[in-house]
């Protein structure tokens, strides 16, 4: 057991810092710090900068053009990126679809789609959830019927994150209604420009426009866009979900969030003293920090254990539950710290249309972020579903 970083790992951290100091555009990090939406252009610009450095697809094997970083490297990068307010990497193509294509896609599909993910030619979104199929994903109803060399797709997806920017969507569709639910699902790649697709925004409670409904009305999809075998989509979907969950502990985000809490609490005054000196508030911050220190090590332990390319099992559910609880607790501390300045509507403060709000302690968007991040325990398999998975695995058959 050795908790210290090796010389190579320390050197790697220095490389990451130097890169971020030099290459991270200030307008983007400012937006991240203020909790503003980056817009399509902002995300694409950052992806391109990472791709030039060869650091975009850190989890891909080298043969596909990835950086093939180990767990510790990924952890170091995540920590530094969050500390520097780098935009998050949009995961849909890079860490959700790509592992599926690399494992189950045809050679042609790999050769065609993977480079386009790296270059940013395609922006992918995830078409899993439907109005009636959330936690019970396998009950999904969107159908794909084979018609010669095409599928005809009908139905609706919802909660499609950043679907407004996407030109491609990977979907779970029903190709057989007469078998057990899980055995009639296929994995299809669909061009969002195909006639018959309508995208409608859903405004979330913090005023943000990050999710959408996507409607399919007799949409023609080339049969070659089927990934793997027909009716085997559930296997691929579950494989993808475990990948979705490995990134979800969000240790780097929590660390950056905790620093922001301390920053706010240093400038916010309570009883004529900085809030950070208030024993009650200091105790809350300390409690979160203690949890986060342990979480960082749990995260490293679990991702180190999983051999490269192999997703961890039940432990990823544990990471998701604990990681999101801690992140949400830190969001709660931030809104507490801001006091009365948590009340203004963030989007107004954030849009810069209003200089009445005091910017220095970046108190503006904290309450909006607190509400927005309620999603963390809902999506990617809700925390109740994760606990169910843990119980099933560890207690054997408990329902």
Partner 1 sequence: MNFDLTEERQMLQDSLRRFLRDKYDTATRNGILESDAGFSAEIWNGLAELGVIGALFTEEQGGFGGAGFDVTTVFEELGRAGVVEPLLDSAVLAGGLIADLGNETQQEHVEALIGGELQLAFAHGEPGSRYDLNRVTSTAAQNGSDIVLNGRKAVVANAEAADMLVVSARESGEAGDEAGISLFLVPADAKGLTVTGYALLAGGRAAEVTLDDVTLPESARLGAAGKAFDAIEARTAVATTALCAETLGAMETACTLTREYLGTRKQFGRPIGSFQALAHRMSDLLIDLEQARSAVINAAGHLADDRASRERHVSAAKNLMGRVGRLVSEDSIQMHGGIAMTQEYELAHIAKRITIADHRFGDTDHHLERFIALSAA
Site membership for ligand FAD, residue 242 (CB under 6 A)? no
Measured between alpha carbons, how far is 135 from 137 in angstroms, rounded to an integer?
A: 5
Site membership for partner 1, residue 202 (CB under 8 A)? yes
Pairing verdict, β 168-174 and 124-127 = parallel
The correct pick among 59, 95, 129, 247 for binding ligand FAD (CB under 6 A) is: 129
Site membership for partner 1, residue 362 (CB under 8 A)? no
244 classed as catalytic: yes
Torsion angle of C-alpha atoms 297, 77, 250, 39, degrees rounded to 10: 180
Q: Which of 228, 242, 116, 211 is nearest to 168 (CA)?
A: 116
Q: Restricting to residues 312-351, name those near partner 1 by CB under 8 A.
A: 328, 332, 335-336, 338-346, 348-349
Site membership for partner 1, residue 382 (CB under 8 A)? yes
Give the end-to-end CA distance of the chain in Å, rounded to a whole number.
Answer: 37
Site membership for ligand FAD, residue 100 (CB under 6 A)? no
Site membership for ligand FAD, residue 382 (CB under 6 A)? yes
Residues 309-348, one symbol each (x = binds ligand FAD by CB under 6 A, - = not), give: ----------------------------------------
Nearer to ligand FAD, 163 or 257 (CB): 163
Measured between alpha carbons, how far is 326 from 253 in angstroms, rounded to an integer?
A: 10
Burial class (CB in 10 A: 0-12, 13-18, 19+), 272: exposed
Residues 351-380, one symbol each (x = binds ligand FAD by CB under 6 A, - = not), give: ------------------------x--xx-
Measured between alpha carbons, how far is 218 from 244 in angstroms, rounded to an integer?
A: 30
Asked whether 56 and 43 are in contact (CB, 8 A), the reply is: no
Classified as helix, coil or strand, 103 is: helix
Give me the catalytic one of 78, 130, 244, 268.
Answer: 244
* DSSP category for residue 193: T
Measured between alpha carbons, how far is 198 from 155 in angstroms, rounded to an integer?
A: 11
Classified as helix, coil or strand, 352 is: coil
Nearer to ligand FAD, 203 or 283 (CB): 203
Which range touches ligand FAD (CB under 6 A), out of 21-29, 127-135, 251-259, 294-302?
127-135
By a kind-dependent CB cut-off of 5 to 8 A, residue 61 interacts, out of partner 1, ligand FAD, none, with none
Size of the site for ligand FAD (CB under 6 A): 17
The correct pick among 60, 69, 123, 159 for binding ligand FAD (CB under 6 A) is: 159
Asked whether 163 and 169 are in contact (CB, 8 A), the reply is: yes
Nearer to partner 1, 38 or 378 (CB): 378
Q: Which of 3, 80, 79 is nearest to 251 (CA)?
A: 79
Nearer to ligand FAD, 129 or 247 (CB): 129
The correct pick among 8, 14, 30, 136 for binding partner 1 (CB under 8 A) is: 136
By a kind-dependent CB cut-off of 5 to 8 A, residue 160 interacts, out of ligand FAD, partner 1, none, with ligand FAD
Measured between alpha carbons, how far is 307 from 85 in angstroms, rounded to an integer?
A: 29
Distances (CA, A) of 159 to 156, 209, 212: 10, 11, 5
Asked whether 57 and 64 are in contact (CB, 8 A), the reply is: yes
Site membership for partner 1, residue 42 (CB under 8 A)? no
CA 5, distance to chain mean position in Å, is 27
The correct pick among 38, 72, 199, 270 for binding partner 1 (CB under 8 A) is: 270
Site membership for ligand FAD, residue 165 (CB under 6 A)? no
Site membership for ligand FAD, residue 168 (CB under 6 A)? no
Measured between alpha carbons, how far is 314 from 395 in angstroms, rounded to an integer?
A: 12
Measured between alpha carbons, how far is 302 from 74 in angstroms, rounded to an integer?
A: 13
Site membership for ligand FAD, residue 126 (CB under 6 A)? yes
The residues carrying an active-site annotation are 244
Binding residues for partner 1 (CB under 8 A)? 129, 134-136, 139, 158-159, 202-207, 268-272, 275, 278, 280-281, 284, 328, 332, 335-336, 338-346, 348-349, 354-358, 367-368, 370-371, 374-375, 377-379, 382-384, 387-388
Binding residues for ligand FAD (CB under 6 A)? 126-129, 134-135, 159-161, 211, 375, 378-379, 382, 384-385, 388
């Amino acid at each position: 057991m050795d908790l210290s970083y090796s010389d190579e790992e320390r050197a790697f951290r220095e490389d990451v810092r130097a890169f971020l100091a030099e290459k991270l555009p200030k307008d983007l990090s400012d937006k991240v710090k203020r909790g503003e939406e980056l817009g399509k252009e902002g995300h694409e610009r950052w992806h391109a900068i990472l791709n030039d450095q060869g650091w975009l697809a850190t989890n891909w094997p080298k043969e596909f053009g990835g950086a093939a970083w180990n767990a510790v490297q990924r952890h170091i990068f995540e920590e530094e990126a969050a500390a520097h307010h780098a935009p998050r990497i949009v995961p849909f193509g890079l860490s959700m679809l790509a592992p599926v294509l690399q494992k189950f896609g045809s050679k042609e599909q790999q050769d065609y789609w993977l480079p386009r993910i790296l270059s940013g030619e395609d922006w992918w979104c995830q078409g899993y959830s439907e109005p009636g199929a959330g936690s019970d994903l396998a009950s999904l109803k969107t159908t794909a019927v084979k018609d010669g060399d095409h599928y005809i797709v009908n139905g609706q997806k919802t909660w499609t994150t950043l679907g407004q920017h996407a030109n491609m969507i990977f979907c779970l569709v029903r190709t057989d209604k007469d078998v057990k639910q899980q055995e009639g699902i296929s994995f299809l790649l669909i061009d969002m420009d195909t006639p018959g697709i309508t995208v409608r925004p859903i405004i979330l409670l913090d005023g943000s426009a990050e999710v959408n409904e996507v409607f399919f009305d007799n949409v023609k999809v080339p049969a070659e866009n089927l990934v793997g075998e027909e009716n085997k989509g559930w296997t691929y979907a579950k494989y993808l979900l475990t990948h979705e969950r490995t990134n979800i502990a969000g240790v780097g985000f929590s660390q950056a969030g905790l620093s922001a809490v301390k920053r706010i609490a240093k400038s916010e005054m309570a009883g004529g003293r900085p809030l950070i000196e208030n024993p009650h508030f200091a105790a809350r911050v300390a409690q979160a920090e203690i949890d986060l220190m342990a979480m960082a090590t749990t995260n490293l332990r679990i991702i180190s254990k999983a051999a490269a390319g192999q997703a961890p099992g039940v432990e990823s559910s544990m990471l998701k539950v604990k990681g999101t609880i801690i992140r949400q607790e830190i969001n709660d501390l931030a809104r507490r710290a801001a006091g009365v300045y948590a009340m203004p509507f963030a989007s107004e403060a954030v849009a810069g249309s209003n200089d009445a709000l005091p910017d220095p302690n970046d108190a503006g968007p904290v309450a909006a972020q607190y509400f927005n991040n309620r999603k963390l325990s809902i999506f990617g398999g809700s925390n109740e579903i994760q606990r169910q998975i843990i119980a099933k695995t560890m207690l054997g058959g408990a329902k």
